[in-house]
Structure 1
Amino acid sequence: MKIWTVANQKGGVGKTTTAVALGGLLAQKGKRVLLVDTDPHASLTYYFGIDSETLEYTAFDLFTDTGAVGVDEVRQAICKTAIDGISVLPSSMALATLDRKLGARSGMGLVLKRALNLLKHDFDYVLIDVPPVLGVLMVNALAACRRVLIPVQTEFLALKGLERMMRTMSLIQKSQNQEHRYTIIPTMYDKRTRASLLAYDKLRETYREKVWPGMIPVDTKFRDASTAQQPPSYYAPTARGVHAYNALLTYLIQQDRQVEQLR
């Protein structure tokens, strides 16, 4: 089971779209996909028409259960979606209280990793959508994975958010003695604007081979797909944004194969 975390400390850069788009493409390849929503805003959860505030169990319960969380407890928090092959571990607004209530509790940084380890035979891929805030949820998402996908809007304010994200990853890697492979994904690229062109060039100049050589364009089909509660590749398979995410997925899979061959 491969676990990819989609993270950035700036909001509005395409994290949820990236998780859903890649998840949809993987499901179309016959993979069993779990999308994990750790953002209290629950955008990924609502994307699939799931109202987490009406559910008996959500991701929040994994963090607050005082007993040993077993595989049955984790499975009962998972919701199937209308898309064959895609399941969701839903978020809830209560996750916003974790740092204040339980952030200092021993072992809180590894809750998600332990829970997902129990599901290693249930899914082929797990994609974790992370809130743009450094806290216990981001620490959990980074601890649970070996690959981090960092969507970055191609504009200069987003580059500043990327700098914060890189510092956060460095701190967490040192504290956990765990190195992450990461890929920076240029998003919301508009070739008609000078700002996008300059920001993309700056990304490539600063982060070099860590930047995926493609880019995700601005595409209104992403918004339409979310309204239809379908991954973009199901709603608009020929859209240019879908072609871009398909190229990204091919790139990520090839990279994973190269790493596995070196082991």
Structure 2
Amino acid sequence: MKVWAVANQKGGVGKTTTSIALAGLLADAGKRVVIVDLDPHGSMTSYFGHDPDSLEHSCFDLFQHQGVVPEGLPARLLLPTSNERISLLPSSTALATLERQSPGQSGLGLVIAKSLAQLWNQFDHAIIDSPPLLGVLMVNALAASQQLVIPVQTEFLAVKGLERMVSTLAMINRSRKQALPYTIVPTLFDRRTQASLNTLRVLRNSYPEHLWQAYVPVDTRLRDASRAGQTPSQFDANSRGVIAYRALLKHLLAASPATQVA
């Protein structure tokens, strides 16, 4: 199984859309995909019609055993989505309380890695949607993943969020056996605005080795897909956004390291 995390320390940059678009395209290609919603806001969970405020069971359950994941628990938490090849490990608002509970508990940083290890033979890919804050949930996402995708909205403040994310990654890499490779993805690009053009130029000058050289354009069809609860490629396979994500997926698969069991 290939495990990718989608993260940025700024909200509103297209993390959830990127996660679901990539998962949908993988499923279209016949892959079995598990998507993991680690954001307490539960945008990914809500996308597929599940209410993170009222779910009885969620990813929160995985963290309730002092860092040990009971055998079979991750599989019992899986929920369906609009695509039969995509299963969801849902979020709940209870995840927001983890930071208060976690001091003094060892092993919490590897809970998601241990959970995905139990699902290893059931899925070809896992995509983790991370919260926009550095804490135990983001640490879990980065610790479990083999490749990091960093969506960056093409506007000035998003570049500042990217700087924080790259600093966080450097810190995390010091505790990993090998550095986590990452790809920066320009999103919400509007060629009609100077803000988008200037930000894309800054990204290309500042991060030439890690930047995906194309971009995901502003596309209302992505928002329409969200309202319909369908993956973007289910909703409109030929939209500008889906065409861009298809190119991104090809790039990520080519760059993806050899799969190893977590």
Q: TM class by shorter-chain length?
A: over 0.9
Structure in which a larger fraction of residues adopt helix: 1
Aligned to 1:201: 201
Aligned to 2:246: 246
Q: Give the Cα–Cα distance (whole angstroms) in 1 for the partners of residues 115 and 225 of structure 2.
A: 30
Q: Deviations over 1:37-84 (max 9, x none)?
A: 000000000000012343332100000135842341111111122312
Q: Give the Cα–Cα distance (whole angstroms) in 1 for the partners of residues 106 and 162 of structure 2.
A: 29
What's the offset of the Cα at 1:236? 1.1
Aligned to 2:215: 215
Q: Which amino acid aligns with 1:190?
A: D
Match status 1:26 vs 2:16: no
Q: Deviations over 1:152-192 (max 9, x none)?
A: 00111100000000000000111334410100000000011
Return the TM-score normalized by structure 1: 0.95
Q: Deviations over 1:113-167 (max 9, x none)?
A: 1111111101000000001000000000000011000000011110000000000
Aligned to 1:49: 49
State the 4+ residue runs in structure 1 displaced beyond 4 angstroms: none
Q: Give the Cα–Cα distance (whole angstroms) in 1 for the partners of residues 139 and 171 of structure 2.
A: 10
The Cα RMSD (Å) is: 1.4
Tell me whether 49-58 or 63-72 shows the greater mean CA deviation: 63-72
Aligned to 2:86: 86
- Tell whether the 8 Å contact from 1:3 to 1:146 is kept in structure 2 after alignment: yes
Percent identical: 53
Q: Which amino acid aligns with 2:81?
A: T
Q: Give the Cα–Cα distance (whole angstroms) in 1 for the partners of residues 187 and 209 of structure 2.
A: 17
Aligned to 2:70: 70
What's the offset of the Cα at 1:260? 4.0
Aligned to 2:37: 37
- Tell whether the 8 Å contact from 2:37 to 2:90 is kept in structure 1 after alignment: yes
Aligned to 2:162: 162
Match status 1:104 vs 2:72: no
Q: Give the Cα–Cα distance (whole angstroms) in 1 for the partners of residues 154 and 82 of structure 2.
A: 33
- Tell whether the 8 Å contact from 1:188 to 1:217 is kept in structure 2 after alignment: yes
> Tell me, which stretches of 5 or more residues in structure 1 are unaligned?
none
Aligned to 1:185: 185
- Tell whether the 8 Å contact from 2:66 to 2:107 is kept in structure 1 after alignment: no
Tell me whether 12-21 or 65-74 shows the greater mean CA deviation: 65-74
Match status 1:120 vs 2:148: no
Does the residue aligned with 2:212 lie in a helix, a strand or coil? coil
Match status 1:3 vs 2:19: no
Does the residue aligned with 1:148 lie in a helix, a strand or coil? strand
Return the TM-score normalized by structure 2: 0.95
- Tell whether the 8 Å contact from 2:32 to 2:123 is kept in structure 1 after alignment: yes
- Tell whether the 8 Å contact from 1:6 to 1:130 is kept in structure 2 after alignment: yes
> Tell me, which stretches of 5 or more residues in structure 2 are unaligned?
none
